[in-house]
């Protein structure tokens, strides 16, 4: 099927917009590649330190035979159920890499925050900033400059984006993302949410709430709703950074361990010494990013990726914005209904066909690019396969033609809706994003008086005092990255959902974030510019009529122009958000963070360098920029 013209147009616009920074990025990548195997630039003393603790024969492989050295960068900790399984991975990886004559080192750990533990708590004000702290920690691990390939162990919200941002700053090193898989299904996410709503109404006891939560989150593995963590998994599959179908295989199963071993050995293969060199910076290009946005839309993925994908793209010298997301959303159909966009969880989604089925359908529909690099080489269609065990090795088989359950996963010829439901809304309050794939149609437009709150706590006090039994638009102010780190306000969902279920027309507008697991209440989030950057959200007063219109894509305060122009910006005392729980350590982050639409990031786009790489033979000078994606493919074809 020919590529959809809108996908073509958006891709070409991104390529054109990004050309200077992408070429600078690739020049940096090529300069690093030209230095050859990392270790050759290290002085003997450095090297000696680098493998002092190695077993003898590993040391020999490194020093004498110059075999590939594979870095392990891991986000293991016991706080995230999703990352706890990574505890055992380094030994599995080292043994698997040794089997193919190479060596692996645990290059470094990265921090990982569980947004479920910190949801509604002060710690959530570090959550977004932890993404770039993870990127910096990844760089610290790889800065030992001894590695020919790298394995990135991460799953949850900010961790995969942080690892990928870090990895892309070492774009010359081949990299593979290694997942751990979801926990088994407990009580349904819908039942969990209804217990929370009953508790919020005082109709359930704390013991019932705790019992419900414990049945929902009951074991090792990723939470089973389709939030940011599982959106990350879908994107890693679509970007060709996972072995095909690795995302949702359960932890502690023979297939999971075989996939980890296979990823470790594949990393050796795609190192420069391995002969199938595939640096991660030549995988994540403009087409790869467009494919990722398409996957997000097709699955009703997390709104957090309107921040993280922007930051990931910038790390590779690629500039995307919310217009790109919005235009693609209009042509990418919704192919899955996984909670909060439906009742099923990711285990059921996997059983029905899983992420590689979505990739195949989007390829068949001409809605994603097949001509991309992945860890398997050239062509995304290589990833439309499912892993199985043959003895103790992984084999991949073709996907079923039909979905295992049309109520959860559909072919592109019969989508749940003709658009992805992650849209841009804009107007005199700024630009914001809305996810409507989980919002009932009669809540797509809300026009009601504003009630302004400067914290989640203020909102909950008003709710518990019975002051919110009415139509209103909650304007939760001073939640942007400069203000308090841009926390998720997901803890307000049960109260807002109760009010909506009681028949009130409610919506939320904030320069903060929501969880990928939020869904049924209309929320215009990530309002840009944020209030502390002079955003007009700061001009709203209680009683102003606010119109949140997902159908027209508008976000308006219906206030007479002269009244609006005379308004002064609201102010707030945020000092209590800047101390305690380590928040004082992130002052530099609050001061340097970019706007939400630029990824709320702390690193610059790549700046041009004089490329030292000679034009390769066979082309006229200037025809193919040295180090460019075309140049890379040309050299690979030799």
Q: Which two tokens stand for residue 498?
A: 């109760």
Strand ranges, E, within 466-553? 472-476, 506-510, 523-528, 545-549
> Would you say 178 or 223 has its CB closer to ligand SF4?
223
The answer to whether residues 178 and 153 touch, using CB atoms and an 8 Å cutoff, is: yes
Q: Are 228 and 272 in contact (CB under 8 A)?
A: no
Give the number of other CB atoms < 10 A from CB of residue 175.
Answer: 31
Rounded to 5 degrees, φ, ψ at 545 are: -85, 125
Binding to ligand 6PG by residue 116, rule CB under 6 A?
Answer: yes
Residue 596's binding partner among ligand SF4, ligand 6PG, none (Cβ under 5 to 8 angstroms by kind) is none
The nearer residue to ligand SF4, 118 or 138, going by C-beta atoms, is 118
Nearest residue (beta carbon) to ligand SF4? 116
Residues 531-560 within binding reach of ligand 6PG (CB under 6 A):
none
Stretch that binds ligand SF4, among 75-83, 165-173, 262-270, 389-397 (CB under 6 A): 75-83
Nearest-angstrom CA–CA distance, 344 and 186: 12
Q: Does 26 bind ligand SF4 (CB under 6 A)?
A: no
The nearest distance, CB 210 to ligand 6PG, in angstroms, is 13
Nearest Cα to Cα of residue 308 among 417, 154, 418, 429? 154
Judged on CB neighbours under 10 Å (0-12, 13-18, 19+), 57 is exposed
Q: Pick from 21, 84, 138, 228: which binds ligand 6PG (CB under 6 A)?
A: 228
Told to check if 74 binds ligand 6PG by CB under 6 A, we report no
Q: Which CB, 116 or 606, lies closer to ligand SF4? A: 116
Q: Which stretch binds ligand SF4 (CB under 6 A): 113-121, 131-139, 335-343, 370-378?
A: 113-121
Q: Which is nearer to ligand SF4, 223 or 234 (CB)?
A: 223
Task: Report which of 430, 219, 237, 261 is spatially closest to residue 336, judged by C-alpha positions.
Answer: 237
Q: Is the Cβ of residue 62 or residue 309 nearer to ligand SF4 in the bound state?
A: 309
Q: Which helix (H) or strand (E) holds 315?
A: helix 305-315
Of 377, 396, 399, 378, the residue nearest 387 (C-alpha): 396
345 binds ligand SF4 per the rule CB under 6 A: no
The answer to whether 80 contacts ligand SF4 (rule: CB under 6 A) is yes
Of 33 and 490, the one with the shorter C-beta distance to ligand 6PG is: 490
Q: Tell me if 489 contacts ligand 6PG by CB under 6 A.
A: no
Number of residues lying near ligand SF4 (CB under 6 A): 12
Structure tokens at 537: 């959200």
What is the smallest separation between the CB atom of 535 and ligand SF4, expressed in angstroms?
A: 28
* Closer residue to ligand SF4 (CB): 333 or 354: 354
Q: How many residues bind ligand 6PG (CB under 6 A)?
A: 14
Interaction between residue 626 and ligand 6PG (CB under 6 A): no
Q: Interface with ligand SF4 includes 394 (CB under 6 A)?
A: no
- Residue 556 interacts, among ligand 6PG, ligand SF4, none and using kind-specific CB cut-offs from 5 to 8 Å, with none
Which of 440, 437, 459 is CA-nearest to residue 501? 440
Binding partner of 302, given ligand 6PG, ligand SF4, none, CB within 5-8 angstroms per partner class: ligand 6PG
Question: Whole-number minimum distance, CB 516 to ligand 6PG, in Å?
Answer: 3
Cα–Cα distance for residue pair 56/183, rounded to 1 Å: 39
Q: Within a 10 A sphere around the Cβ of 371, how many other Cβ atoms? A: 11
- In the complex with ligand SF4, the residue whose CB is nearer, 82 or 532, is 82
Q: Rule CB under 6 A: is residue 284 a binding residue for ligand SF4?
A: no
Residue 156, marked binder: yes
With residue 275 as reference, give the H or E element that holds it: none
- Give 554: exposed, middle or buried? Use CB within 10 Å, 0-12, 13-18, 19+: middle
Q: Which is nearer to ligand 6PG, 157 or 549 (by Cβ)? A: 157
Give the DSSP H or E segment for 50: helix 44-50
Residue 227 burial (CB count, 10 A): 29
Nearer to ligand 6PG, 157 or 511 (CB): 157
Is 223 known as a binding-site position?
yes
Please state, in angstroms and as integers, the Cα–Cα distance from residue 581 to each residue in 29, 83, 122, 159, 515, following that order.
38, 22, 7, 20, 21
Contacts 24+ apart (CB under 8 A), 625-629: 625/23, 625/26, 626/27, 626/30, 627/23, 627/26, 627/27, 627/29, 627/30, 627/31, 627/33, 628/23, 628/26, 629/26, 629/282, 629/285, 629/373
- Binding of residue 347 to ligand 6PG (CB under 6 A): no
Per the listing, tokens 């700053």 go with 169
| Interface pick for ligand SF4 out of 81, 271, 302, 455 (rule CB under 6 A) | 81
- As measured in angstroms, the least distance from the Cβ of 341 to ligand 6PG is 13
Which of the choices ligand SF4, ligand 6PG, none does residue 424 contact, using the CB cut-off of 5 to 8 A by kind? none
- Which residues define the annotated binding site for [4Fe-4S] cluster? 156, 223
- Which residues define the annotated binding site? 156, 223
Binding site for ligand SF4 (CB under 6 A): 80-82, 114-116, 156-157, 222-223, 227, 229
Binding site for ligand 6PG (CB under 6 A): 115-116, 119, 157, 227-229, 302, 304, 488, 490, 515-517
């Amino acid at each position: 099927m020919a590529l959809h013209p809108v996908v073509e147009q958006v891709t070409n616009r991104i390529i054109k917009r990004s050309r200077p920074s992408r070429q600078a990025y690739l020049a940096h990548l090529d300069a690093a590649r030209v230095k050859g195997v990392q270790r050759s630039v290290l002085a003997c003393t450095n090297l000696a330190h680098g493998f002092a603790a190695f077993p003898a024969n590993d040391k020999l492989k490194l020093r004498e035979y110059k075999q590939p050295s594979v870095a392990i960068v891991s986000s293991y900790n016991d706080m995230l159920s999703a990352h706890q399984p990574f505890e055992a991975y380094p030994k599995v990886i080292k043994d698997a890499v040794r089997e193919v004559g190479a060596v692996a080192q645990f290059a470094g750990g990265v921090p990982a925050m569980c947004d479920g533990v910190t949801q509604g708590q002060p710690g959530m004000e570090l959550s977004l900033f932890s993404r770039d702290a993870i990127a910096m920690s990844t760089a610290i691990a790889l800065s030992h400059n001894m590695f020919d390939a790298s394995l990135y162990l991460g799953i949850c919200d900010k961790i995969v984006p942080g690892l990928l941002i870090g990895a892309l700053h070492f774009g010359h090193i081949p990299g593979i993302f290694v997942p751990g898989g979801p926990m088994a299904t407990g009580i349904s996410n819908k039942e969990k949410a209804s217990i929370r709503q009953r508790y919020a109404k005082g109709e359930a006891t704390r013991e019932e709430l705790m019992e419900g939560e414990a049945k929902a989150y009951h074991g090792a593995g990723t939470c089973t709703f389709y939030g940011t963590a599982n959106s990350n998994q879908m994107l890693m599959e679509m970007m060709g950074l996972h072995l095909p179908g690795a995302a949702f295989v359960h932890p502690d199963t023979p297939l999971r361990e075989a996939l980890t071993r296979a990823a470790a050995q594949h990393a050796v293969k795609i190192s420069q010494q391995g002969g199938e060199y595939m640096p991660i910076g030549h995988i994540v290009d403009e087409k790869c990013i467009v494919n990722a946005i398409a996957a997000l839309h097709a699955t009703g993925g997390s709104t957090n990726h309107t921040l993280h994908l922007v930051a990931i793209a910038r790390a590779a010298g690629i500039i995307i914005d919310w217009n790109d997301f919005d235009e693609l959303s209009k042509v990418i159909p919704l192919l899955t209904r996984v909670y909060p966009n439906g009742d099923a969880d990711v285990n059921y989604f996997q059983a029905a066909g899983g992420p590689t089925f979505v990739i195949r359908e989007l390829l068949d529909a001409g809605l994603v690019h097949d001509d991309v690099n992945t860890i398997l080489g050239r062509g995304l269609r290589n990833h439309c396969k499912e892993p199985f065990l043959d003895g103790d090795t992984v084999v991949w088989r073709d996907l079923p033609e039909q979905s295992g359950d049309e109520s959860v996963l559909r072919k592109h010829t019969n989508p749940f809706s003709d658009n992805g439901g992650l849209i841009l809304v804009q107007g005199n309050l700024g630009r914001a994003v809305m996810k409507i794939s989980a919002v009932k149609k009669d809540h797509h437009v809300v026009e009601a008086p504003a009630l302004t709150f400067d914290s989640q706590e203020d909102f909950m006090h008003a709710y518990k005092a019975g002051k919110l039994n009415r139509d209103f638009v909650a304007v939760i102010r001073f939640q942007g990255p400069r203000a308090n780190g841009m926390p998720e306000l997901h803890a307000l969902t049960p109260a807002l959902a109760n009010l909506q279920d009681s028949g009130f027309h409610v919506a939320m507008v904030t320069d903060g974030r929501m969880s990928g697991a939020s869904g049924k209440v209309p929320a215009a989030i990530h309002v840009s510019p944020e209030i502390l950057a002079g955003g007009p959200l700061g001009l709203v007063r209680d009683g102003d009529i606010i119109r949140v219109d997902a159908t027209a894509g508008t976000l308006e305060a219906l206030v007479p122009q002269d009244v609006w122009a005379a308004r002064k910006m609201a102010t707030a005392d945020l000092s209590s958000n800047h101390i305690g729980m380590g928040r004082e350590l992130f002052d530099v982050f609050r001061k340097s963070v970019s706007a939400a639409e630029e990824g709320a990031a702390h690193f610059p786009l790549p700046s041009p360098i004089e490329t030292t790489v000679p034009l390769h033979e066979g082309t006229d000078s200037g025809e193919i920029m040295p180090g460019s994606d075309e140049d890379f493919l040309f050299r690979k074809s030799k």
